[in-house]
Each structure stands twice: as structure tokens, then as C-alpha cells.
Structure 1
Amino acid sequence: MLNYNPLHCLPSSEELPNSDDTPVDNQLQHLIPALLESTLAMIWSERWDWFFGVNMGIYYDPKQPALVPDGFLSLGVKRFIDEYLRLSYVLWEEKELPILVLEVASQIHRGEYSSRKEFYAKKLGILYYAIYNPLRRKKPLLEVYRLVDGEYLLMSGSPVWLPEIGLGIGRERGIYQGIAREWLYWYDEQGQRLLTPEERIQEAEERVNFEAQQRLEAEQRAQILEERLRDLGVEPESLT
């Protein structure tokens, strides 16, 4: 008897384009999710059950083109597939929906507040949907929605706590790649912002410099003390 597995007939990630070849509208659509990804790589360095995609295609139907959000987070999947990494995120291979999708809006509207939002809720069932729009003036720049009974409900808080992820997401001014502006960051349950890799390196360098300065000052004080003892006719070596 012939064994038939429909999954064997579906295209694999190697056979599918890894994006829709549509360039991002501006740098923020790459830099903002890249900052979130790099911070996760630092704070979850010992975890291997997560993946954060940046401008990567999500294949949900073999007959449809990929959907390419600016960023998305999946839990319960392998962080690395192999040394070639992921080419795209194929749902029939991963078997896990992203838990969070992020869109960074620009002057070119892509349906972030309408068609895409509806698709993530109705078609895919993504638990959290976040939209960051730095160009907004009269409404919140960052909106985070949670899926409840098939509908997205706007969440409150700043930052917004995401219990299933164990992190909060919010916005504040900072410096990333030398650029001073408002960025999106991860936060702990107490609302404290988690340091980025750049900030951790800077903090470590400042600590090393501080300790070196402390040692130098201690050596200078010891030298001054030795000179005063000699002025009094006491050899410091005789005191040891």
C-alpha cells in the first residue's frame, strides 16, 4: 500500500524565495527590528528555543507569496537550523506561528492599520501585533495589540508587558549605531529597560577604565606615602 504524506509535496524553504524582493522604505524598518534581535541574542544567549526574523518571508500557504513583516519573534523553535541559517520561515516546516509580529510604518502605507492587521488576526492568528509609527503626531507612536477571540485589542502600558514572552516592549530615546533618536527596546517585568549589546560593551569598558583609574590612584597614594616616610628618615621596606 502506498503511504502518502501531503507534507512531502509541499515546497521546502530551500525551494522558496527568501523574501518578496521589495526593499524597505527606510532604514528604520531594518534598524529597529535589528536592535531588538541583537538584544535578544544577548539576554537569551543560553536559550536555543527562539528565533527573531528581520525582513524575512513567512510562508503560510504554498500557493501564496510570502508575507514579509519588518520583524517577528517565534518561541519553541530552533534558534539555528544549520550553518546556512534560515532562508525563510515556512510554517509547514516550523510548525509554530510567530508569537509577535512587528511592523514599522513609513510614509508609504502598507496596510499596517488595516489589511495587514486583519490578516495577522484572522488568517494567521498571531498573538501579539505591534505597530511603530514614528511619523504619527496625534495618536500613539507604538501600538501593541493582543489577539482575543479572533480580534485585536489594544494593550495599555508603557512599556507593554507580554507575559507569554516574559518581556515588555516600549520606546525611548537612546543611541544605536551612533544614531541618537527614539528606538524600541525590551524591558523586564519591573519596567526596567534591558541594555543593548552596544551599551553592555560600553558599560564593561567604563568599568575597566574605572578600575584602572582606581588602581592608578592607589599606586599614586602609595608612592606619596613612601616619599613622606623617606622624608622622615624611614625606609618603607623596613615596615614590612
Structure 2
Amino acid sequence: MLQYNLPRNLPSADELPDSDETPVDNELQELIPGLLKAILLILWSERMDWFFGIDMGIYHHPDSPPIVPDAFLSLGVERFYDEELRPSYVLWDENVVPLFVLEVVSPNYRKEYSTKLEEYQTLGVLYYIIYSSRRRRKPHLEVHKLVNGKYELQSGSPFWMPEIGLGIGCERGNYSGVTREWLYWYDSDGKRYLTPEEQVKQESQRAQQESQRAQQESQRAEQLAQRVEQLAQQLQDLGVDPENLN
């Protein structure tokens, strides 16, 4: 639990600015986190102990401006407080440091590999994820894990995070009508979780297959009834009453 030994009352989330009012640099900084959250909303639909923030200020000290990652995930917190939702994420109210922080590198480099790494390391974020599709000689996705107070670069994609119960990785796909490389969640076997669009398509295909099977069964039953009727007619033509057969 975080401790703030300060001789004054600390401001609540309602009393602090919602964000730093700094616009995102490009659309990917909205779409990539948005896709991850959309998958979680289905995957963890019955869980109420998690929060996924997008472009939301994390207040870590009352005398410091908030840190505003592109996205972060906390476990062991309320999913939402009330219908007004969270205006920001205040550590002295939540008492839970995010387990996962994501930064999507933009053309206007914002020190994701240096200053921000140090900030999240000091804050105690367990997993710091950096994604840049513009890198040529290095992996697009970097996973840094906090080990003994220092970040260590991890290998493998997708990378399994047992403390969260999810893997993170990237591959080409289609989301929001755009085909490109996206970030996705994965299970412990490395199988990618479907996007909402893919789930709708899968359910539609399953329903269509069930309808086709039902139609085929109906056709088979109709053919069988016709065959029985034909046999009965043949018996009648031979002078045999089908109703009197033992």
C-alpha cells in the first residue's frame, strides 16, 4: 500500500484536473489501446476488479503533475465508482499501482525509451510496454519487467504475464476497418483472443452453420417421409394394406 506522510489533506480525483490536456500525437495512440480495452470488456465482462485507463492522468504525488500513459491496467481496484466514472487515477485514493503501462511511440518522440521508462520504474509499475511500428532493426514491441527495482527487457512475443493472466503480442489483423499490425491479448498457450468484430463474425458463422445443419436434418427427415410414403403406395399396389403389417 502506498503511504503519503504529508501534513495536509490530499485532493481527491474530483478535485484534480482530468488530464494534462495534451492531445495525442496520432490516431494509433487511441486505436491500439482502444482495441485492447474492447477485448478485455468481453473477456473480463463478469469481473469487477480491474480498470483499464486510456490517456488518463495517474496522480502519484500531490505536488507533481500526473503521468499520462497511452494506456494502463490495474487489478484489485473497482472497475468503476459510479455513473460519472473516473476523471483520473489517483494513487493515494486507489492504493494500487498499475501492473501494466503501455506507450505507443509517435513520430514526435516523447522519451518513451528513457525518461518515461525511469518514471514508471520509480513508480513501481511491474510491466512497461513500448510499441513502435516504425522501428526497422529492433522489435516493434518491447516488454520491460520490474525485477529488484529495475526494468529488464524481456524476450518473446507474445509474452506471458502470469501476474495479470494475459499475454501481450502483436500481429497483422483488421480492426476498425484498418489492416495493419495491432497489439492483442493472448492466453497462456499463445492463442490470440478475438476482437469484438471477430467474435461477432464467429458467432454469426456458427449460427449460420447451425441453421444449415438444421435445414439438412429437415431435408433428410422429409426425404425419409417421402420414401415411407412411396413404400406404402407400392404395398397398396400389390394389394397389401400397410396398416395390417405385423
State the TM-score, normalizing by the size of structure 2. Answer: 0.88
Check 1:229–1:125 CA distance in 2 against 1; reply closer, same or farther (3 A cut). same
Aligned to 1:167: 166
Aligned to 1:147: 146
The 8 Å contact of residues 7 and 92 in structure 1, kept in 2 or not, is answered as no
The 8 Å contact of residues 101 and 129 in structure 1, kept in 2 or not, is answered as yes
Whether 2:107 is the aligned partner of 1:102: answer no
Please list every run of at least 4 consecutive aligned residues from structure 1 whose deviation after the TM superposition is greater than 6 angstroms. Answer: none
Once the two structures are overlaid, the 10-residue window that deviates more, 191-200 or 181-190, is 191-200
What is the rounded CA distance, in whole Å, between the counterparts of 1:62 and 1:46 in structure 2?
A: 34
What is the rounded CA distance, in whole Å, between the counterparts of 2:210 and 2:38 in structure 1?
A: 28
Displacement of 1:238 in angstroms is: 11
Q: Specify the SS of the correspondent of 2:72.
A: strand
Displacement of 1:233 in angstroms is: 5.1
What is the rounded CA distance, in whole Å, between the counterparts of 1:7 and 1:177 in structure 2?
A: 49
1:3-22 pair list within 5 angstroms: 9-22=9-22
Whether 2:50 is the aligned partner of 1:44: answer no
What is the rounded CA distance, in whole Å, between the counterparts of 1:181 and 1:234 in structure 2?
A: 64
Displacement of 1:195 in angstroms is: 1.7
Check 1:13–1:7 CA distance in 2 against 1; reply closer, same or farther (3 A cut). farther
How well do the aligned residues superpose, as a CA RMSD in angstroms?
Answer: 2.3
Asked which structure has the greater CA Rg, the reply is 2
Whether 2:191 is the aligned partner of 1:189: answer no
Deviation string 1:154-202 (CA, Å, 9 cap, x unpaired) is 0111111111111110011112122221111111111111122222222
Check 1:46–1:78 CA distance in 2 against 1; reply closer, same or farther (3 A cut). same
What is the rounded CA distance, in whole Å, between the counterparts of 1:28 and 1:144 in structure 2?
A: 19
Aligned to 2:31: 31
Q: Specify the SS of the correspondent of 1:9.
A: coil
What is the rounded CA distance, in whole Å, between the counterparts of 2:27 and 2:193 in structure 1?
A: 23
What is the rounded CA distance, in whole Å, between the counterparts of 2:95 and 2:149 in structure 1?
A: 20
- For structure 2, which runs of at least 5 residues remain unmatched after alignment? 235-242
- Length, aligned pairs only: 234
What is the rounded CA distance, in whole Å, between the counterparts of 2:80 and 2:119 in structure 1?
A: 27
What is the rounded CA distance, in whole Å, between the counterparts of 2:244 and 2:193 in structure 1?
A: 52
Displacement of 1:219 in angstroms is: 2.0
What is the rounded CA distance, in whole Å, between the counterparts of 1:216 and 1:185 in structure 2?
A: 37
What is the rounded CA distance, in whole Å, between the counterparts of 2:244 and 2:203 in structure 1?
A: 40
Once the two structures are overlaid, the 10-residue window that deviates more, 95-104 or 143-152, is 143-152
Aligned to 2:71: 71
User: Which residue identity is paired with 2:169?
Assistant: G
Q: Specify the SS of the correspondent of 1:38.
A: helix
Percent of counterpart pairs with the same letter? 57
Check 1:176–1:7 CA distance in 2 against 1; reply closer, same or farther (3 A cut). farther
- For structure 1, which runs of at least 5 residues remain unmatched after alignment? none
Check 1:210–1:107 CA distance in 2 against 1; reply closer, same or farther (3 A cut). same
User: Which residue identity is paired with 1:105?
Assistant: V
